[in-house]
Amino acid sequence: MKEDFEQLTARLNTETARISWQELERHFARGLLLTVSPDLDLVEVGAHMIHDDRTIIDAWLETDELRKTTDDDARGWSEGKEELWAVVVAPWVLVQEK
């Protein structure tokens, strides 16, 4: 049985963390890193993905508010030694700049 949306967001909120790019590189190399726009709530995006809310997810993909992390993203984060917010929504790792 799926968790209701409120329970799920509460759980995911406890599972988010600031993480360095170096810790994320292996997920990027495997093609499992998705970038979430700073305009969106990282936890809510993760909850919608777990609930497979295709209409919402497709809309974010269409506007690039949710997208595969690019080589340019990776280079910028690697050079800047920036920490990102991340949450795992298996098999994906969602990342967001703050």
State the chain's mean pLDDT as an integer: 94
Give the total residue count for the chain: 98
Shortest CA distance to 77 belongs to which of 4, 7, 6, 25?
25
Structure tokens at 50: 């777990």
pLDDT for 48 equals 97
pTM over 0.85: yes
pLDDT digits (tens, 9 = 90+) for 11-53: 999 999 999 999 999 999 999 999 999 999 999 999 999 999 9
Q: What is the DSSP string of 40-73?
A: S-HHHHHHHHHTT-HHHHHHHHHTTSEEEPPHHH
Q: From CA 31, how far away is CA 29, in angstroms rounded?
A: 5
Confidence tier at 74 by pLDDT (50, 70, 90):
very high
pLDDT for 79 equals 85
Contact 34, 66 (CB under 8 A): yes
